[in-house]
Structure 1
Amino acid sequence: MKSRNSILLIFFFLLTGQLFAQQDSLKFKAERVVEEPAPEYKPYDPLSPARAAFYSAVLPGLGQAYNGKYWKIPIVYTALGVGVYFYLNNDDQYDRYRDAYKSRLAGKTTDEFIDENGTPIISTSGLIEAQKFYQRNKEISILVTLGIYALNIIDANVDAHLQQFNVSEDLSLKPALDYNRYSGKAGYGLSLNYNF
């Protein structure tokens, strides 16, 4: 009987201690709750991506300015400038070789690719190959510049889309224990709550 009373007494103390501990933890949690103001989001504008793309198509970099990404404007103009520079450089080289080729066809021996003794530094077939090479490089420069121009428009459009993507400040991943009543087994997992 004495052991039974002592077991009941220990059980009673454990139960009341557990209740007091739960009350203390509830008080502690209630005291720690601080209400933060809800973040303010811009209202959704479905035409904003199209507007940013249009601005970038009219003037490269203007769509980035519309999105507030001013640091991208020098990158856009540098990339376009590099493409234009290579086009102009290849065009100048093409003109040099073409003028020398035309001069040789006219029978002149005074082009820049003939040395002082009158011997050609570059043969006529070499001049033709150089013209083909620089013509191809001019075309590639045009394609690269147009590609950079298109990327400028795509970047402004995608950036305007992503600015309107609402991301909550409360991103949480909560582990959960799911008890299956029929099989008597516990199922472990993670719950991810997604609100639209």
Structure 2
Amino acid sequence: MLSKKRIAAILILFFSFNFFGQQDSTTVKEKLVVQGGVYKPLAPAKAAFYSAIFPGMGQIYNRKYWKAPIVWAALATPTYFFLANNREYNRFRTAYKLRKTGFQDEFTDDLGVVSVSLETLEKAQEQLRENRDLSLMWGTILYVLQIVEASVNAHLLQFNTDDNLSFQPTFIPDPIMFDAPKIGFTLKYTF
């Protein structure tokens, strides 16, 4: 059983760490320096806002110019498929409505020969509507993802990435036991 002095010492050590746990907020802001400028707490919000207004603009605001064409291509693809599927859906929908009312549609010949059945028109409408809705869903997902990417990138740009923070393995020979090599791991960090 531990003595009262040991328990008291452990409790004092445990609670003394909390006294040194917090730092003054003014000194933290002075230490946070971005390459070529100071810490900007509203930069992620601006990047997200710009991306929401015009896709790719947040990436341009973050100075990641190469990402803007990728965003535009990613959003242009579902937009193209949405428009193409919607155009075809309306075409088959119009043909279906005309056939149901007894008029000639684009799939009926002048002699009255039907090249596409009524069932095929219904199935084509269902498939094209599903494809159109999927294109809209993917376009919305990509739109939201590019906003999130711009915001996260703006957050990450403000982190300190000095060489002092990097991991560099070094081999230190032991002068006493030179013949028997040893392998070790040392983690060194400074504030």
Query: Do Structure 1 and Structure 2 share a fold, with TM-score over 0.5?
Result: yes
Which position in structure 2 is the counterpart of 1:141? Answer: 135
Shifted more, 50-59 versus 91-100: the winner is 50-59
Distance 1:99 1:52 in 2: 44
**Out of 148, 158, 170, which is 1:174 matched to?**
170
Work out whether 1:45 is the aligned partner of 2:46: no
Structure 2 length normalisation: TM-score? Answer: 0.70
**Does the CA contact (< 8 Å) of 1:100 and 1:112 recur in 2?**
yes
**Identity across the alignment (%):** 43
**1:167, distance to aligned residue in structure 2 (A):** 1.5
Aligned length: 152
Work out whether 1:127 is the aligned partner of 2:121: yes
Q: Which has the larger radius of gyration?
A: 1
**Does the CA contact (< 8 Å) of 1:94 and 1:130 recur in 2?**
yes
Letter in 1 for 2:52: A
Which position in structure 2 is the counterpart of 1:12? Answer: none
**Out of 108, 113, 123, which is 1:114 matched to?**
108
Letter in 2 for 1:44: Y
Work out whether 1:152 is the aligned partner of 2:141: no
Superimposed CA distance per residue, residues 19-65 of structure 1 (whole angstroms, 9 cap, x where no aligned partner): xxxxxxxxxxxxxxxxxxxx965322222212211211122111111
Distance 2:157 2:143 in 1: 21
Moved over 6 A (4+): none
Structure 1 length normalisation: TM-score? Answer: 0.69
Which position in structure 1 is the counterpart of 2:89? Answer: 94
Distance 1:158 1:59 in 2: 17
**1:139, distance to aligned residue in structure 2 (A):** 0.4
RMSD value, Cα:
2.4
Where structure 1 has 5 or more consecutive residues not aligned to the other structure, the ranges are 1-38, 179-185
Other structure's SS at 2:38 match:
coil
**Does the CA contact (< 8 Å) of 1:177 and 1:189 recur in 2?**
no
Superimposed CA distance per residue, residues 98-132 of structure 1 (whole angstroms, 9 cap, x where no aligned partner): 11111111111x21112343121111111111110
